[in-house]
Amino acid sequence: MSDSTVTVHGAHAEHEHPPYQRHHFHSMEQQVDTTSFAMWLFLLTEIMFFGGLFTAYLIFRNWYYPAFVVASHQLSIKEGTANTAVLIVSSFTMAMGVWSAEMRRKGALVLCLCLTFVLGLVFLGIKYDEYHEKWEKHHVPSFHYSTKSFTDPASDPEIHKSYPDDKALPLDMARHTEVYFGLYFAMTGMHALHMIIGISILAFMIFRARAGAYTTGHVTFVNNFGLYWHFVDIVWIFLYPLLYLISRHS
Amino acid sequence: MSTQHDPHDQHHGTGHDHDPNEQDVHDTLNHIVSPVVYITVGTILLVMTAVTAAVSFVDLGVFNAVVALAIACFKASIVVLFFMHVKYSSKLTKLTVFSGLFTFGVLIMLTLSDYFTRAWGRW
Amino acid sequence: MSSSTIIRLPDQSTARIPKVNFLTKENGLLSWLLTGDHKRIATLYLISITFFFAIGGMLAGLIRLELLTPQSDLMAADTYNKVFSMHGIIMVFLFLVPSVPATLGNFLIPIMIGAKDLALPKINLLSWYLYIIAGGMMLYVMASGGVDTGWTFTVPLSTHYVNTHVVSAGLAIFVAGFSSVFTGLNFIVTIHKMRAPGMTWFRLPLFVWSNYAASILMVLGTPVLAITLVLIVLERVMGIGVFDPAKGGDPILFQHLFWFYSHPAVYIMILPGMAVISEVVSTFARKRVFGYTAVAFSSVAIAVFAFFVWEHHMFIMGVSNYSTLVFSLLTMLVAVPSAIKIFNWSFTLYKGSITFETPMLYAFGFMGLFTIGGLTGVFLAATGTDIHLTETYFIVAHFHFVMVGGMLMAFLSGIHFWWPKWTGRMYPEKISQLAALVTFIGFNLTFFPQFILGTLGMPRRYAAYPPEFQVLNVFSTAGATVLGIGYLLPILYLTWSLKYGEIAGDNPWQATGLEWQIQSPPLTENFVEIPIVDHDAYDYEWLERKEKEVTSVG
């Protein structure tokens, strides 16, 4: 062996580290550092995962701008803005949850996690309502997709009232609205899937938090989940203007 | 990044936490962000959401997209810096975030380099 | 050739495999299926990827059999399409991508940096399970008829025109992709955070540097493949229209997204092979790797440049001419770091004390064949020549030279080099040298004619070809048979060596590196005492001094 060595601990009784420290780490600091770094790397993969969708979106918005504008008017700006606000508040409650865990306040932590959970459900509820409306109006790609709202705006009185200056699109451009909705469902669907996974993990965390698992100094799980949750929020922060706010002016 | 080591301490592990009661919860730099910061950032985010929605009703031509994306980038930055604690994190974390954004940038820019130059014709 | 060798084995009459090691520590199926030990997981991977290599190899055999004759007489053209597609998919995603990282990387990286395990052992195990699930899904795809789109899933063929199992295959690759991502993630975290005291970045073995670079590619590139496969599934199932010209979509977009991963993927495949070569060349030349810093930085440079060149797979597909200019130039640049590595290994050999054990034979094979493969890549980087050579057998020969002549040889080099560490036993040297030679001859006979075929104009992915190409095809098939024997032999004698191989001892190669300072096979926790590193990598003087110390104590 080289000059000096460090003895690796054998029997448990000699251990001076907290029970939640894994044995291949030599200190809690290393464990926290490591798992946090790992979570960030995972978020990198998520950036690249959504990145492909954003690339596709950029290209088709550039090619079919009129179709994208008109199609985006089919989305409810009220529901989109509400959802954005919901997610922002849920990010806030999640950050407060991390703070509560760090301050070892179990009650506050459970409250924050529950609020985040509920807000997540609210988001999904509003999303479901939006999806349902799209389904009803035959704006889901390949499921009896209809371009009628775009070739004949008068046939869609609700939207026509809010955007009277929207001209009828020629048929080929009207057909490109299907690409817009394809991307809409792909992007918001992928986002919603991540929300569902997040909410499921939140449910698990609420149970564990109530048992005091995160308020004894071991906040890594809450912290790292917080990173995930904020990332999902950031994706929506970009989806909102790109999908809903293309051009709402007349 | 090298680990801590006390060369005189042969009996314990390197950098061991000797005090289990020590509050070793942290961002990598042991900094706990105060709720005041969170409330401020949250409020700014909500305000900017209202702003971006309002601006979309104003005709700025091509700048609508620019403004919308700029506001979104700003919102994302404050979420990353404050909610995700990157402002208080190590250089490694900052480098990691940067490398993700850089690669995403490469994907977009180089792909668009094809699409934007197709209309330029053959040569 | 002299009979000198650096192998130094303990006295076989008294030597024993250490009773307590990672293989014997715990018994029972569950102790393997629920293990967190990186070495056991590496072993599980080794068995799994060998299985899929055999399947991919049999598919290759079928391809070469069909191509013995100009007509599509062994199988229908549709079937041939399925055979080469499954061959490509299995070889790329289920063999080459995980080959060195998941086996040798998993086994060695913690030991080389002086750690007890990878940073995230459970994620490591999850990685293997995802691989097995992906493999199972792929077997299902094969059993139900396979896909015939080529491993590249080109759109709109794969989304609108074939009725084969594109969705299942796409999902299988999606799962395999996550297996790869988690392995890479684990490596990056481990190398950053788990190095032993004194193990600075520039004391790391170059094996670690190269795997680190490959891991960056895995983490950043694979997710784009994942989303591309999702879009293929959505396009096929839902008709969202992003790739469908009839709805205004762009098939080229698919190719951009697909190759954004798949080009870095080839570096994911080759960098770990280069990692092995650095270690082997140094050990069998008894000399530190020439230009350590250059080799280390060129690994990272390859990883960075890898992301800038993908459009060179699309020069004829209808992309803008201006972008082909840019990507052509960038592709020329990416060749430079690879060349730097070859130069540095060559200078390592210069004035070294070279011996020709099996790992070194494979390494020599690598250096020659990878160079040829790489240089032919330059033909393809230049847009003008690429227009003539693309989609011909020239491409097939090019990538088989770098992947099989390069990567697979490096993999075999690594397996032989670290076999004694992994199992405690030596493989039989004479037959393994023969196998290396047989592989080299078989390889050249199989793939060199394909360069000529490609230049003469034989297209790839065709079951039938003009009769004037038959002679070269027959050479190629003959070579494939020899090559097959060359690959079968190691499977046989390595298995044999598990029971009958000579006891290897800690350091049969007298190599530097922390893995050679511990017992063979290693303990579960790798080190009895975590080392404190005070010397550079490839420090043969340090090794000599250490040996002298031990022998003087007696």
User: Mind giving me the DSSP string for C467-528?
Assistant: GGGHHHHHHHHHHHHHHHHHHHHHHHHHHHHHHHSPB--S-TT---SGGGGS-SSPBTTB-S
* Structure tokens, C246: 């009839």
User: Which comes out higher in pLDDT, residue A30 or C256?
Assistant: C256
Helix (H) or strand (E) holding A5: strand A5-7
- The per-residue pLDDT for range C527-537, each reduced to its tens digit, is 999 999 998 99
Question: Over the range B70-84, which residues count as b (16 or more CB within 10 Å of their CB) and which as e?
Answer: ebbeebbebbbbbbb
Distances (CA, A) of B15 to A15, A171, B3, B92: 13, 70, 7, 20
Show the tokens assigned to B122.
């053959």
B2 touches chain C (CB under 8 A): yes
Q: What percent of chain A has pLDDT over 70?
A: 93
Whole-angstrom distance, CA of residue A44 vs CA of residue B119: 33
C-alpha to C-alpha distances, C488 to C45, C348, C438, nearest whole angstrom: 19, 32, 11
CA distance C323 to chain B (A): 5
Q: Are B74 and B45 in contact (CB under 8 A)?
A: no
Closest-approach residue (CA) in chain C for A50 = C227
Question: Residue A250: its pLDDT value, please?
Answer: 58
Whether pTM exceeds 0.80: yes
Band of residue A248 on the pLDDT scale cut at 50, 70, 90:
confident
- CB within 8 A of B50, min separation 6: which ones? A81
Rounded to the nearest angstrom, the minimum Cα separation between C446 and chain B is 37
How far apart CA C89 and CA C141 sit, in angstroms, is 11
Q: Please report the pLDDT score of residue C419 as a whole number.
A: 97
* C348, C284 contact by CB (below 8 A): no
- Degrees (nearest 5) of the Cα angle C553, C198, A224? 135
List, for residues C64-73, the tens digit of each pLDDT value: 999 999 999 9
CATH 1.20.120.1780 fits domain C31-553: no
Alpha carbon distance C435, C448 (integer Å)? 19
Nearest CA in chain C to A41: C185
State what percent of residues in chain C have pLDDT above 90.
Answer: 93
Fill in the DSSP letter of residue C17.
Answer: -
Is C288 strand, coil or helix? coil
Q: Could you give phi then psi for residue C395, rounded to 5 degrees?
A: -60, -45
Helix (H, G, I), strand (E, B) or coil at C459: strand
Contact B49/A81, CB-based, under 8 Å? yes
pLDDT at position B9 is 39
Is residue C530 helix, strand or coil?
strand
Confidence check: pLDDT of B22 > 50: no
- Specify whether the CB–CB gap between C15 and C505 falls below 8 A: yes
Cis peptide upstream of residue C156 (ω within 30 degrees of 0): yes
> Chains that contact C by 3+ CB pairs under 8 Å?
A, B
pLDDT at position C317: 93
B71: confidence class by pLDDT, cuts 50, 70, 90? very high
Which among B16, B23, B35 is the nearest to A27, CB-wise?
B16
Mean pLDDT of chain C: 95
The region that residue C248 occupies, defined by phi over 0 for left and psi between -120 and 50 for alpha, beta otherwise, is left
Distances from the Cα of C196 to the Cαs of A138, B17, C464, in angstroms?
A: 61, 17, 58
pLDDT at residue number C392: 97
Q: Does the pLDDT value for residue C27 go beyond 60?
A: yes
Sole residue written with tokens 């985006």: A72
DSSP state of C202: G
> In this predicted structure, what is the pLDDT of residue C224?
97
Give per-residue pLDDT as tens, C282-302. Answer: 999 999 999 999 999 999 999
Answer yes or no: are the C-beta atoms of C283 and C509 closer than 8 Å. yes
C163: left (phi over 0), alpha (psi -120 to 50) or beta: alpha
CB C517 within 8 A of CB C527: no
For residue C50, the distance in angstroms to the closest alpha carbon of chain B comes to 33
* Predicted pLDDT at C210: 97
Cα gap C554→C544, rounded to integer Å: 15
**The pLDDT of residue B26:** 43
Lookup: tokens for C334? 């990416």
- d(C-alpha C261, C-alpha C257), whole Å: 7
Helix or strand or coil: residue A142? coil
User: What number is the average pLDDT over the span C147-158?
Assistant: 95
C313 to chain B, closest Cα gap in Å: 13
- Confidence class for position A26, pLDDT limits 50, 70, 90: confident
Please give the mean pLDDT across all residues of chain B. 80
C141 — pLDDT class (breaks 50, 70, 90): very high
C200 CB neighbour count, 10 Å cutoff: 12
Higher-pLDDT residue of C241 and A11 is: C241
Q: Give contacts of A58 with chain B, Cβ < 8 Å.
A: 108, 112
CB contact under 8 A, B120 and C319: no
- Which residues does residue A144 pair with via DSSP β-bridges, in sequence order? none
State how far residue B47 is from chain C, nearest Cα, in angstroms.
Answer: 33
Nearest CA in chain A to C186: A38
Cα separation, A143 vs C234, in Å, equals 13
Q: Which residues contact A95 (CB under 8 A, 6 or more apart)?
A: A226, A230, B33, B38, B42, B82, B83
Q: In the predicted model, is pLDDT for residue B43 greater than 80?
A: yes
- The CA-based angle A111-A117-A119, given to 5 degrees, is 100
Beta strands A5-7 and C529-531 are antiparallel
CB-based contact (8 Å) between C304 and chain A?
no
Q: Is B107 within 8 Å of A52 (Cβ atoms)?
A: yes
* Chain A, chain B: beta-carbon pairs less than 8 Å apart: 177
Interface test with B, best of A1, A84, A87 (most B CBs within 10 A): A84
pLDDT, tens only, C427-465: 999 999 999 999 999 999 999 999 999 999 999 999 999
Show which of residues 208-237 on chain C sit within 8 Å of chain A, judged by CB atoms.
219-224, 226-228, 230-231, 234
CA distances from C425 to A9, B8, C126, C431 (A): 30, 39, 29, 15
- From CA C371, how far away is CA C363, in angstroms rounded? 12
Q: Where are the domains of chain C?
A: 31-553
| Chain A nearest-CA residue for B2 | A30
Q: State the average pLDDT over residues B60-86.
A: 94
How far is Cα C222 from Cα A211, in angstroms, rounded to an integer?
A: 38
Question: For B9, which residue in chain A has the nearest alpha carbon?
Answer: A6
The DSSP call for residue C110 is H
Residues of A in contact with B88 (CB under 8 A): none
**Where residue B60 falls among pLDDT bands split at 50, 70, 90?**
confident
Query: Predicted confidence band at B25 (pLDDT cuts at 50, 70, 90)?
Result: very low
C311/B106 CB distance under 8 A: no
User: Of A76, A68, A78, A71, which Cα lies nearest the Cα of A153?
Assistant: A71
Q: What angle do CA C254, C257, C261 make, to 5 degrees?
A: 135
Instruction: Classify residue A77 as exposed, middle or buried by CB count within 10 Å of its CB (0-12, 13-18, 19+).
Output: middle
A24 close to A18: Cβ distance less than 8 angstroms: no
All chains having 3 or more CB pairs closer than 8 angstroms to chain B? A, C
Among C220, C255, C324, C333, which would you mutate to test the B interface (most chain B Cβ atoms within 10 Å of its Cβ)? C220
What distance lies between CA C445 and its chain's CA centroid? 21
Percentage above 90 pLDDT, chain A: 69
What's the pLDDT band for A29 if we cut at 50, 70, 90? confident
Task: Using an 8 Å CB-CB cutoff, list chain A residues near C189.
Answer: 34, 37-38, 41
Q: What is the DSSP letter of B12?
A: S
Within 10 Å of residue B67's Cβ, how many Cβ atoms? 17
